[in-house]
Structure 1
Amino acid sequence: MNEGTQQRRGAAEPTELSFVREKLLKFQSKMLEDFEKRLSCMVEDVLQDLRQRELRAHEFRNFEIPNGGVSHNSVWHNRMSKQKVSNTAASDVSDIPNGHANGAKPAPSQGQKRSERRQLPDKVFVARESYLTALLQVEHMRTIYHIFYIILVMFLLNVIFYDYFVKGRIDLGLGTIRGGLKRLHWVFGVWLLEHVFVLALYYAFQGWAVVRHKLKQHNALQRFWSHSCLIMYISSQVVFCFVSTSLCLKFGLPFVSACVLLLESTRLLMKMHAFVRYNAPRVLAGKQKTDDDQEAAPAGRPFVPPVRSYVYYLFAPTLIYRDSYPRTSHIRWKFALNRLLEVVAVAFLYAFIHERHIHEHFGEYGREEVGPSKMILKLFGMMLPSAVIFLCGFYMILHSWLNFTSELLRFGDRMFYKDWWTSHTYDAYYRNWNVVVHDWLYEYVYKDMYMHVFKGSKVAASLSVFMISALVHEQVLGFALQMFFPVMFILFGVVGVALVYLMRSAPKVLGNMFLWFSLILGNGMLISLYAMEYYAKKNCDLSNETWTDHLVPAVWRCYN
């Protein structure tokens, strides 16, 4: 009996050992397979970085630091911590911990290290060219640039032949441009008045600082004065925004003129807030000099930056205030003229696209019968023209126009965008697409929300930035088109935010492909829906008897 049991046990043990051995072998094979995949990805990333470095060293020489030095931080890096900023040549002596002007710093304590880790990095300005300016120095990229020139010429020939053989006259899109810029003289007049208001803000801020300094012996009066000025400042910003939007409706401005007025008003609002937000803490702290230590306040008075710094900032192509910026040595007039001609060329291209695509697809919307099949054809017929509008809008504003104004003002830091076209997540796309606006949102909205409102919650601070940005975009489009049709808010503030979190773990290739697919599809839907709503309001005889009639889209009321 015992011998039979022992034999059965002896036969079972090899079976169990073989089972365990088989499982271990499977586990080992899976581990090796996963390790090989990860190792190949890491090797590919390293090789890609080496190829990029070699390409930049040989072809993209303009990507290097202007003085020819080598920096541990890339010249395309946008922000640095305060400790790193204090180590650079552009640092302020007052920013060095404990006031060690000779550069020697004591070893930070553990509490100081924790405090420094919690500090968010600051915007830095470096003399550098725009990304596309450097890329177009390469012959291969310059060839692609020439191809786009030929595409523009083909658009021009298409419009010329269409106007001549169909309409019997050659217009070259001038009718569309004249219609879009109608009442531009009213816009220019409002623009001048707005700059008078913005300049008055500087002297109001100076008055607040001087009176506050004189009341330093009376704490209660000093707080009352500061709180009263804060209330007046907030009220003036609200009135400024209300007046610009109401004048847009009162003058009945066409779309282009309205966009010019609303965007310029938004730009000035952002600049005013940046100036006050940057300089108010310096007045409260009793700062006596500019950031570069070149000018000090008169004895017995608080420091306020000189008016020339403020005026230069108002026209500089940045929304981040500093007392001084990197400057170029001279103006390249040929470069500036080329950028201005590009702006004019893209404006004509937009006129051609409006006449031959947007108006052709949706000009009769509200009068013609529209079924599901016809609607799908219209939407997909606008996908490629909308992609051209999207890409040319980026190039015209963020590259051509900002480089043109930078060249005239000798503004050195031309990083208005990064290589957003290589992004594989919406996080990177939003950071790199419009660096000028993103820097302002980061410095004056995100950091304040993160430090003072949400107390360290990055998610809540990020969502507040998205909501504010979506509301401003919708406000500009809504008042420019004079309609309530919140498609921009939904696509940007809802769908865009969802894609940020959904695409964070996407592979690089698939993520980049999906990014471009969603951008082309989203812009096609955006432009098509706004065009349908615009022409539906224009073509349908709709009555607005109640306030709800203004909220119901005309595209729905026309056919229902």
Structure 2
Amino acid sequence: MESTATHTNDSQWINQETEKIHAEILSELNHFESALNKRFAQFKNTVTAQQEKTLETSLANASSHQITEPRVFISRNSILTDLFKISHIRGVRNVFAAILIIFVIQVTLDDIIQDGRINLQFEIMFESFANLHVALFIWLLMMLSTSIVVFLGFYLWTKHRNDYRKTFKFYDRIWLSIYITYMILFLAFPSREITKHKFGVASSIVILLEQLRQLMKVHAFVRENVPKVLSVAERKTADKKFVCPDFSQYLYFLFAPTLIYRDQYPRNPAIRWDFVLQMFGQVIASVFYVYYVVVRFCIPTFGSLNQEEITLSIFVSVIFNSIMPGSLFLLLGFYGFLHCWLNAFAEMLRFADRMFYKDWWNSTSFAAYYRTWNVVVHDWLYTYVYREIYVLTGQKSRTVPAICVILLSAVFHEYVAVFTLGFFFPVLFFLFGVVGLTFLLLLPRHSGVAYNILMWVLLLVGMGVQSTLYFMESYARKGCPRNGTFWDEITPGSFSCRITLPSSKHSKIDL
């Protein structure tokens, strides 16, 4: 018996020691894996930082006759993707989610108290997405035109160019005229359809943003590949191989979340469908967030203006009351589109370079803010506008190209606003192209907390002014009589008439 008990104790001791060793091995392996992942992340961040630093240094040290390549595509996450791995940063996102839940509860309780039931009609949202099916059909036509007509035209130009060696210039000018005509028609057709069908705000934005995105994609594809074709034709050797990208490369570029054309991009090995669903879910949450901000803050604020004359003191008070909802529009637009939407498409396409924005929230000047807020569009403007104008002006000054970029961006921001809202009220152009350009040229570019705070103050006040003016003009256009003349259409009505819309929680608004 003693022997049996001793044997049992020995077996238990052996099992316990074995489990301890096994646990220690697992613990060491976990530590090793964590250290390896951390080290790899540091290495990747270091490589990215070194590349960006090299680019900035080469820009700073370049002579007035040199300008560098703007973008090198490498595999990297978006900044927020890495930051959300930190529990403290996730906590900030959770606060915004909690605020959304509170908005839903508050609006629901208001419905029960005022109407005796829950109102889930979402009138404003349905109004914003009016005629979405027609908008999607127009998008399909635009996409077919961009993918087939453009590629086929470029293919024919490159394939038959050598057949007109004696009349290269005439042949190229004909195709250049066709290209310019196509771009003008592509710009005019969707805007005409928006005016004709009276789309809602969201439906109009879908068409307009896709229109501009495809126009920039087309120009990037043509601009990157034309020099390749010309270089082949200029070869003195007999080897003049026909140069045209594969259609699969062009089609991938049309859907990839970048506006800079390359034949190849870094790709991830697999698609994380759970990540895709998470991103699209947060896009939908951002849309509902905007809806509840409008219902909770904007409609009550601007609905109360129908009881009194709009004086300067009331106007200033409304502006400061609009800073908070305007700031939420800014943050939700950034997070919903630049982070979630683009990351979702990047994941589905296994597009590995996720630098769609930089740390714009740390900017200490508007120059830095413009460069880091939307890197996708900034890369296109820098590559195909700034650099082109810099070369055309003799490579003597960088101020003129910078002014041209800002003004071009302001014009198209205003273009989107005009056809989205259905009236001309150049607030965006003034704030972006005049005030923003003034800040860009005159404000000192120094680092430090004070300058970052100043940038945020100016940015938030600008969002408040923008929200106030557009909401006021929308109410005025809806409630004040218009005579339909040209000057009446381009004259702001928010300062020339008294608003007479009835005050109601669910008053409809054209925004």
Alignment TM-score, normalising by the size of structure 2 = 0.84
Partner residue of 2:124 out of 153, 159, 176: 176
> Within the alignment, does 1:550 sit opposite 2:489 as a pair?
yes
Q: CA 1:517/1:375 → structure 2, altered by over 3 Å: closer, same or farther?
A: same
Residue 153 (structure 2) aligned to one of 204, 208, 226: 204
Matched AA of 1:151: I
Secondary structure of the structure 2 residue equivalent to 1:483:
coil
Task: Report if the CA contact (8 A) 1:82-1:122 is conserved.
Answer: no
**In the alignment, what sits opposite 1:296?**
none
Query: Residue in 2 aligned with 1:230?
Result: 176
How many angstroms apart in 2 are the aligned matches of 1:538 and 1:446? 41
Partners of 1:344 and 1:158 in 2: how far apart?
20
Deviation at 1:175, TM superposition (A): 2.3
- Displacement of 1:178: 1.4
Counterpart for residue 152 of structure 1: 100
Letter of the aligned partner of 1:191 in structure 2?
A: W
CA contact (8 A) 1:474 1:489 kept: yes
Pair 253,72 (structure 1): closer, same or farther in 2 beyond 3 Å: closer
**Cα distance 1:324–1:81, how it changes in 2: closer, same or farther (>3 A)?**
farther
Report the alpha carbon displacement of residue 317 of structure 1 after superposing the two structures with TM. 0.4
Match in the other structure for 1:262:
208
CA contact (8 A) 1:426 1:515 kept: yes
Distance 2:58 2:244 in 1: 22
| Contact 2:279/2:344 (<8 A) preserved | yes
Structure 2 equivalent of residue 281 of structure 1: 227
* TM superposition shift of 1:508: 1.4
Query: Aligned partners of 1:58 and 1:500: how far apart in 2?
Result: 43
1:138 aligns with 2:86: yes
Q: Tell me the alpha carbon deviations over residues 473-510 of structure 1, each in whole angstroms, 9 at most, x when there is no partner.
A: 00000111011100100100011011112322445111
Structure 1 unaligned residues grouped into runs of 5+: 1-56, 84-112, 289-298
The aligned counterpart of 2:47 is 71
SS in 1 for 2:495: helix
Find the aligned partners of 2:254 and 2:154 in 1 and give their Cα distance. 15
Q: 1:383, 1:524 within 8 Å by CA — same for their partners in 2?
A: yes
Residues 197 and 82 (structure 1), Cα distance of their counterparts in 2 relative to 1, 3 Å cut: farther
Query: Does 2:139 align with 1:163?
Result: no
2:191 counterpart of 1:245:
yes
SS at 2:494 equivalent? helix
RMSD: 2.7
How many Å apart are 1:215 and its aligned residue? 1.8
Give 1:349 deviation, angstroms: 0.8
* SS of alignment partner, residue 555 of structure 1: coil
Conserved in 2, the CA contact under 8 Å of 1:287 and 1:303? no
Q: Distance in 2 between matches of 1:157 and 1:60?
A: 41
C-alpha distance after superposition, 1:196-245 (max 9, x if no partner):
211211110111111212222x1xx2210101110110111011101111
Evaluate the alpha carbon distance shift between residue 287 and residue 514 of structure 1 in structure 2; reply closer, same or farther with a 3 A threshold.
Answer: farther
Which residue matches 1:540? 480
Any idea what SS the aligned residue of 1:127 has?
coil
How far apart are 1:72 and its partner, in Å? 8.2
Q: Hey, what's the Cα distance between the residues in 2 that align with 1:332 and 1:229?
A: 43
Provide the C-alpha distance between the structure 2 equivalents of 1:259 and 1:72, rounded to a whole number of angstroms: 34
* Per-residue deviation, residues 24-46 of structure 1 (Å, max 9, x unmatched): xxxxxxxxxxxxxxxxxxxxxxx
> What amino acid sits opposite 1:440 in the alignment?
W
Q: How far, CA to CA, are the matches of 2:55 and 2:211 in structure 1?
A: 27
> How many residues matched?
459
Could you report, residue by residue, the CA deviation over 1:10-62 in whole angstroms, capped at 9, with x for unpaired residues?
xxxxxxxxxxxxxxxxxxxxxxxxxxxxxxxxxxxxxxxxxxxxxxx999878
Q: Equivalents in 2 of 1:475, 1:551: separation in Å?
A: 14
- Indicate conservation of the 8 Å contact 1:424/1:506, yes or no: yes
What is aligned with 1:382?
322
- The offset of 1:73, in angstroms, is 4.7
Spell out the pairing of 1:88-487 with structure 2 (5 A cutoff). Answer: 118-172=66-120, 174-199=122-147, 200-216=149-165, 218=166, 221-286=167-232, 301-363=241-303, 368-453=308-393, 455-487=395-427
Taking a change above 3 Å as real, the CA distance of residues 554 and 358 of structure 1, as seen in their structure-2 partners, is: same
Amino acid at match of 1:549: D
What is the CA-CA distance between 1:451 and the residue it aligns to?
0.9
Indicate the residue corresponding to 1:91 in structure 2. none
- After superposition, give the CA deviation of every residue in 1:143-192 in whole Å (9 maximum; x if it has no partner): 21222221121111112112221233323573222111110011111111
Residue 414 of structure 1 aligns to a residue whose secondary structure is coil
Classify 1:174/1:559 alpha carbon distance in 2 versus 1 (closer, same or farther; 3 Å): closer
Give the Å deviation of 1:371.
2.6
Aligned counterparts of 1:528 and 1:400: Cα–Cα separation in 2: 27
> Aligned partners of 1:441 and 1:329: how far apart in 2?
31
Checking the alignment, whether the CA contact within 8 Å between 2:129 and 2:202 is kept in structure 1 is yes
Shift of 1:119: 3.3
Give distance in 2, aligned partners of 1:463 and 1:194: 31
Work out whether residues 64 and 396 of structure 2, in 8 Å CA contact, stay in contact via their aligned partners in 1: no
The 5 Å alignment of 1:33-72 reads: 64-66=42-44, 71=47
Letter of the 1:167 partner, please give it.
Answer: D
Q: Deviations over 1:395-433 (max 9, x none)?
A: 011001000111111110000000010111111111000
Rounded Cα–Cα distance in structure 1 between residues aligned with 2:384 and 2:444: 25
Provide the rounded CA distance (Å) in 2 between the counterparts of 1:505 and 1:149.
35
Question: In structure 2, do the counterparts of structure 1 residues 148 and 279 end up closer, same or farther at CA, with 3 Å as the change threshold?
Answer: same
How far apart, in 1, do the equivalents of 2:43 and 2:189 lie? 45
Structure with max Cα Rg: 1
Alpha-carbon distance change, 501 to 58 in structure 1, aligned in 2, over 3 angstroms: farther
CA distance in 1, matches of 2:496, 2:207: 30
- The 8 Å contact of residues 64 and 397 in structure 2, kept in 1 or not, is answered as no
Q: Residue 505 of structure 2 corresponds to which residue in structure 1? A: none
Preserved CA contact (<8 Å) 1:365 1:535? no
Gap regions ≥5 residues in structure 2: 1-34, 500-511
Identity %: 36
Q: Distance in 1 between matches of 2:182 and 2:80?
A: 39
CA distance in 1, matches of 2:231, 2:63: 19
Instruction: Report which structure shows greater RCO (CA 8 Å, sep ≥6).
Output: 2
